Chains A and B, each alone.
Chain A
Amino acid sequence: MSTFFDWQIFFKDTGAGQTYLQWLLNAWAWTLLVSICAWIIALILGVSVGIIRTLQNQFIVFLGNAWAEVFRNIPLIIQIFIWYHVIPSLFITLRHVPSFILVVVALGLFTSARISEQVKAGIESLPKGQRQAAMALGFSNFQTYRYILLPLAFRIILPPLTSESMNIIKNSSVAFAVSVSELTMFALQAGEETSRNIEIFLATTCLYFVSTLFVNQLSQFLERRVKIPGTFGGDK
């Protein structure tokens, strides 16, 4: 077996003053950075658009729906190419924006559409009486969302939100297409340079797996923390 797996490869110099291990870790950091930045954008926009889609104002709801449909229905890789190739040729000032930023924006907007869908569904799944009870006590619309509807909806959508967060890490792999040197880029290039595809891809896969597993664990911890006593699954 020792000839089949050659892990020494990771301590070899790449020729650019670092080992393959250093490159791998560096690539992992880029993957995480892209994912985290995109996730922040996705969460802020997704929650806002999701809320907007549950308001009474027809026009605002239309805008929110349009947002969701546009970013949800175009393949992610196409969206990234649009941000990379099309938009800079339309707006000259965007020509020097680093591809890291473009990828973060593209992935963030793509995911925001999906999160908005979950937020909307979460809010709409709440009993209608909760909103009425809050209004009847004199809460403003904002307060009704802030103190009642969102805390309840958040608990409901935590599981789908988790898979969305895991998706964002996996989807960040498309960043290689616009030359961000993240994990997938590493796997392709290092695999080719060293001809040790098995080790390189195993290591890469492992890091994706560890990252998403961490998100999953974190979310399960959060789920236990926010469980409501006296409800299904909560303490008695």
Chain B
Amino acid sequence: MIQINNVSKWYDKFQVLNNCSTVINKGEVVVICGPSGSGKSTLIKTVNALEDFQQGDIIVNGISLSQKGIDLPKLRSRVGMVFQNFELFPHLNISENLVLAQIKVLKRQKTEALERGLKMLNRVGLSTHKNKFPGQLSGGQQQRVAIARALCMDPIIMLFDEPTSALDPEMVGEVLDVIVSLAEEGMTMMCVTHEMGFAKKVSHRVIFMDHGAIIEDLKSADFFGNNKKISPRATEFLSKIIQH
């Protein structure tokens, strides 16, 4: 469903992505981890063309991103993205946050959009908050709304960029539960996270990045197993975050 082929990206002379290649199949859950600054965010943002790249190619649902003149808004509307800082629109209430893109981008009718929005809101367990504004919700609630907002667009894949790292510890669980339930339903996902317990539980595959390169791309069982399949660099990283 998504093919990343030898993608490289530079900011001036500084290389942020170094010849990255991987394939994400339908229904697969792939966790991306690695030290800060290793290019994780940049990599997943190239998938919905929020970041461009200078070399290689990415193919999303049959569409090559290196082509000129592709309809980026249309492509992005089908790729759900959840950010570290939620990024709900603060001037719109929860219902409006959920319906705006459905109406303006997918050209759905208002009633249809609202129905879909409330269904997704219900799914993340927040139906009673539909008339509140983002600033009136807790971080965990906001992030669940952000997930619902992405789901409203009927995405073919969901991208998560550290969805729980801006949350207070007691709210991490409620957000991860939503993501786990999505995984169980067979949603295709790429998720940057440092929550290794969660990664072990939901992921089919783990990608480990360092200095812009994909160092490991292993089945989850192999990555977390005790059989020394992974590089010393990844082992060191794992031991560091598991200590914390």
Chain A residues in the interface with B (C-beta under 8 A): 127, 129-130, 132-140, 143, 147-148, 151-152, 155, 228-231, 234, 236
Contacts and interface: CB of A to CB of B under 8 A. Distances in A.
Contacts of B136: 229-230, 236
B221 interface: no
B76 A148 contact: no
B220 to A, nearest CB: 27
A140 B74 CA distance: 9
A138 B91 contact: no
B101 A139 contact: yes
B91 A228 contact: yes
A228 B133 contact: yes
B85 A137 contact: no
B217 to A, nearest CB: 25
A136 B79 contact: yes
A140 B73 CA distance: 6
Interface string B100-138: 110011100000000000000000000000001111110
A136 B73 contact: no
A137 B88 CA distance: 11
Q: Which of B78, B83, B87 has the most CB of A within 10 A?
A: B87
Nearest to A228: B91
B48 interface: yes
B25 to A, nearest CB: 22
12 contacts: A129-B83, A132-B83, A136-B50, A136-B80, A137-B150, A137-B153, A143-B104, A151-B91, A230-B90, A230-B132, A231-B90, A231-B135
Nearest to B149: A137
A138 B105 contact: yes
A19 B149 CA distance: 66
Given A137-B76, A138-B101, 13 more contacts: A129-B87, A130-B87, A132-B83, A136-B50, A137-B101, A137-B150, A147-B104, A155-B91, A228-B133, A229-B136, A230-B137, A231-B90, A236-B136
B187 to A, nearest CB: 16
B48 A228 contact: no
B10 interface: no
B81 interface: yes
B55 interface: no
Contact of B48 (A136, A155, A229, A236): A136
A135 B78 CA distance: 12
Interface residues of B, number: 34
Q: Pick the 7 closest A-B CB pairs, nearest first.
A: A230-B135, A138-B77, A133-B87, A230-B136, A137-B101, A136-B81, A138-B105
A139 B104 contact: yes
Contacts of A230: 90, 132-137
B237 interface: no
Contacts of B76: 135-138
Nearest to B51: A132
Nearest to B84: A129
Contacts of B153: 137-138
A234 B87 contact: no
A139 B73 contact: yes
A50 to B, nearest CB: 19
Contacts of B135: 228-231, 234
Contact of B90 (A134, A138, A140, A152): A152
Contacts of A147: 89, 100, 104
A180 to B, nearest CB: 40
Contact of A137 (B77, B132, B137): B77
Contact of B85 (A129, A140, A148, A229): A129
Contacts of B79: 136
A226 to B, nearest CB: 8
Contacts of B45: 132
Nearest to B88: A133
Interface in B137-179: 137, 149-150, 153
A152 B83 CA distance: 19
Given A132-B50, A139-B104, A148 B89 contact: yes
B202 to A, nearest CB: 22
A158 to B, nearest CB: 13
Q: Which of A132, A151, A236 has the most CB of B within 10 A?
A: A132
A148 B97 CA distance: 10
Contacts of B134: 230
